[in-house]
Each structure stands twice: as structure tokens, then as C-alpha cells.
Amino acid sequence: MSIIMTGGGTGGHLAIIKAVKERLVNGSLIYVGSTQGQDRSWFESDRQFKQVYFLSTRGVVNQGILGKIKSLWMLAQATVDAYSILKKHNAKVVFCVGGFSAAPTSIAAILARIPLVIHEQNAVMGSLNRRLSKYATAFISSYDDNSLIKSYPIKEEFFVKGRVRDKIKSIIFLGGSQGAKAINELALSLAPWLESQNIKIIHQAGEKNIQAVAEQYGKLNIKAEVFGFTTKMPDMMASADFAIARSGASTLWELSANGLPTIFVPYPFAAGDHQYHNAQFLVEQNLAWVMREKHINIDEVKNIILNLDDIKTKSRKLLKSIDKDGSQKIASLLTQIATQG
């Protein structure tokens, strides 16, 4: 049997595929992504996939009229290619995680009447998943009470390294591998105070910003661990006692699994403002804090960090907020559908 996995463009989508595929020990796994985005860097050399394909596609959203026409033409061509791939590998089920990379293969699955399983990462549904959800055999979302599976699929390492935080000896700033200007500026503004509190700084400044941010810490005569992309995020999070981060879905649930109390600073231009709504999902359960970029209050941040009782309470609750079997449940569902097909 062949299980086709598709979607990506960004790390948030691709992390879902990575977490689920590691639980799929039986069957032939095929990945279909895009020549654009991060798809190649994640899976081009991944030996767990029997074969990988990268189709010429790009996003349709935020394009001008001519750009949209070109994107739709590329989508049509890629859908024909994806249809051929599904037939070639006798696909039994297609697992879609959204993003423009997923469009051709998901549409081809519908046309070929192959079962389609969709995973939505965010509290606000992406445009592709919203359009395709009515055709799906199963729709999965950790924010939807009606979802067949509520547990979010993340790597087991984040659970294994989880712990209750009752002291703040280190803080991690997470702006993503591309960095976040607002978080970088907040970290540097807080740095002297954090130094006075003997709180170590771990800072994901973004690949392009490492040198500039490191130099700023140097001018402040403050030692900080500054990095961009890392494959050791479970260890990075585990070493921290508090976080200030963007609220992309994977980051949000990884922090939750690790029990790491967090102030979320959502990316203000995310589609549908989904990062804010992701964070609000936790805030409404008294599991986190959220600050809009334009409303960041340094004194409020300091007060939150100093309130150890609240931090300990949230940390304990976070560890109970997500089950570690999300990846396995999705893998089992895909296997079941593929076998039945």
C-alpha cells in the first residue's frame, strides 16, 4: 500500500509530516511537495520516503491579478502531474497538512477518489484546507471539539524532556529560523534587566540576524546564546525556564508539551491572524500570555517573569494540556484507511 504525504512550504506544515511519518513503520511512503519553500531542505534526502517529488507550484494568496493567473496555471499543470503520481504508486490515502505545496496532490486525490485526510494546524483554518475539508474522509484539528483526533502531532522528545518550571534561571526567545524583529528588539531591551536577575539568555534571532544581534549583546557586555536554525529545539526548550515566542502552531504545541510557560507575540500579518488565535486558545485556558507587537509592555513582561507561583501553575497545567499520542493516532488512522482501501 502507498501512503502519500503532501503539504508544506513552511516548517510548521512540514513538522507535522515529519512527526507522523516517523510513526508509519509499514507501507510505502511517498512525499509530494513543491519546488518552492522549505520542502526540499526537509525531505529531499529523507530515506524513510520511498520516493519524493517536488512540483512547480507557488502560493495564490497575496498575488496580483497576473500573478494569480500564473499561479493557477502552475497549479493546474501540477495537479495533472500529481494525478499521475497517485496512479503510479497505487495510492490508498493522501495525508494533507495544508499550504500551497498540498494543493495539486489534494485536488488530484479528490479527482481520483482516493481518501483524503486533512490536518489543520491553526485555530483559523487555512484557505486550502477550508476549501477541501468538505471532500475529506477525515478532518483533524486540535482546536476543534468535533475533531476525530485532538492530540497535536509533535515529536516525543518534547514530552520526554518536559518538566515543571518553578524557577527562572534561563529564558528563550523564539522568533523562528527567519527571526522576528519585534522579539529581537524586546530581547535586547530586556537583556540588562535579565542580567541583573541572573537569568541566562537563549535567543533564536534568525539566520540573517545572528551577527547583528550578537554584536548588540556584546555592546551591552552580556553573554547570550544566539542562533538561527537548529535541529536541537527539544534540547533548547528543555534548557529554558521561560519563553517569549511567535505562536505558529508547531511552536505553540511543542512549548506546551515541554511545560514551558510562554508569552506569545503573534506574527501580525499571519493569514487570518491565525497566530493570535492560536495563542488565545491557550490564554483562554489560563495556560499562557499573549501580547500584540504594538502593545508590548516591558514592565508587564518583567512582572510576569517575577510571578513564580503563576509560572509554576501554568507549567503544571501545560504538561497535562496535550497528549503525546497525536502522531501515533494519525499514523494509525492513515494505516487503517489505506488497508481498507
The C-alpha cell that represents 28 in the structure block:
510505502
List the 224-227 sheet strands across, edge first. 224-227, 200-204, 170-174, 242-245, 262-264, 289-290
Q: From the centroid of its chain, how far is CA 1?
A: 28
Query: In terms of pLDDT, which residue wins out, 328 or 341?
Result: 328
Residues 182 and 294 in one domain: yes
**Average pLDDT of the residues in 197-219:** 96
Q: Is the pLDDT of residue 11 over 90?
A: no
Q: Is the pLDDT of residue 103 over 70?
A: yes
* Residue 227 lies in domain: 157-319
Residues 107 and 232 in one domain: no
Indicate the number of domains in the chain.
Answer: 2
Three-state secondary structure string covering the chain: CEEEEECCCCHHHHHHHHHHHCCCCCCEEEEEEECCCCHHHHHCCCCCCCEEEEECCCCCCCCCHHHHHHHHHHHHHHHHHHHHHHHHCCEEEEEECCCHHHHHHHHHHHHCCCCEEEEECCCCCCHHHHHHHHHCCEEEECCCCCCCCCCCCCCHHHHHCCCCCCCCCEEEEECCCCCCHHHHHHHHHHHHHHHHCCCEEEEECCHHHHHHHHHHHHHCCCCEEEECCCCCHHHHHHHCCEEEECCCHHHHHHHHHHCCCEEECCCCCCHHHHHHHHHHHHHCCCCCEECCHHHCCHHHHHHHHHCHHHHHHHHHHHHCCCCCCHHHHHHHHHHHHHHHC
**pLDDT tens-digit readout, 106-139:** 999 999 999 999 999 999 988 888 899 999 999 9
Query: In terms of pLDDT, which residue wins out, 200 or 45?
Result: 200
**pLDDT tens-digit readout, 266-315:** 999 988 899 999 999 999 999 999 999 999 999 999 999 999 999 999 99
What is the rounded distance in angstroms from the CA atom of residue 191 to the CA atom of residue 340?
A: 57
Residues 165 and 121 in one domain: no
Least confident of 21-25, 169-173, 239-243, 304-308: 21-25
**Average pLDDT of the residues in 181-186:** 96
CA atoms within 13 A on the CB side of 37: 24
| The pLDDT value given to residue 26 | 72
The C-alpha cell that represents 311 in the structure block:
509560572
Say what percent of the chain tops pLDDT 70. 97
Are 213 and 203 spatial neighbours (Cβ–Cβ below 8 Å)? yes
The C-alpha cell that represents 224 in the structure block:
547570550
Residues 132 and 35 in one domain: yes
Residues 135 and 173 in one domain: no
Are 185 and 214 spatial neighbours (Cβ–Cβ below 8 Å)? no
Instruction: Please provide the average confidence, as pLDDT, over all residues in the chain.
Output: 92
Residues 140 and 169 in one domain: no
What is the rounded distance in angstroms from the CA atom of residue 89 to the CA atom of residue 105?
A: 13
| The pLDDT value given to residue 341 | 62
Residue 52, strand partner residues? 31
Residues 29 and 135 in one domain: yes
Residues 8 and 111 in one domain: yes
What is the rounded distance in angstroms from the CA atom of residue 274 to the CA atom of residue 82?
A: 29
Supply the CATH number for residue 99's domain.
Answer: 3.40.50.2000
How many CB atoms sit inside 10 A of residue 158's CB? 24
Q: Is the pLDDT of residue 1 over 80?
A: no
Residues 278 and 306 in one domain: yes
| The pLDDT value given to residue 312 | 98
**Average pLDDT of the residues in 31-54:** 92
**pLDDT tens-digit readout, 235-252:** 999 999 999 999 999 999
| The pLDDT value given to residue 340 | 85
| The pLDDT value given to residue 226 | 97
- Rg, C-alpha atoms of the chain: 21
pLDDT band with cut points at 50, 70 and 90 for residue 179: confident
Query: In terms of pLDDT, which residue wins out, 148 or 178?
Result: 148
Least confident of 11-15, 75-79, 88-92, 324-328: 11-15
Residues 15 and 70 in one domain: yes
Q: Is the dihedral of CA 12, 13, 18, 20 positive or negative?
A: positive
Global pTM? 0.87
| The pLDDT value given to residue 74 | 80
pLDDT band with cut points at 50, 70 and 90 for residue 209: very high
| The pLDDT value given to residue 140 | 96
Residues 163 and 311 in one domain: yes
- In angstroms, the first-to-last Cα distance of the chain is 9
| The pLDDT value given to residue 186 | 98
Residues 235 and 119 in one domain: no
Are 83 and 113 spatial neighbours (Cβ–Cβ below 8 Å)? no
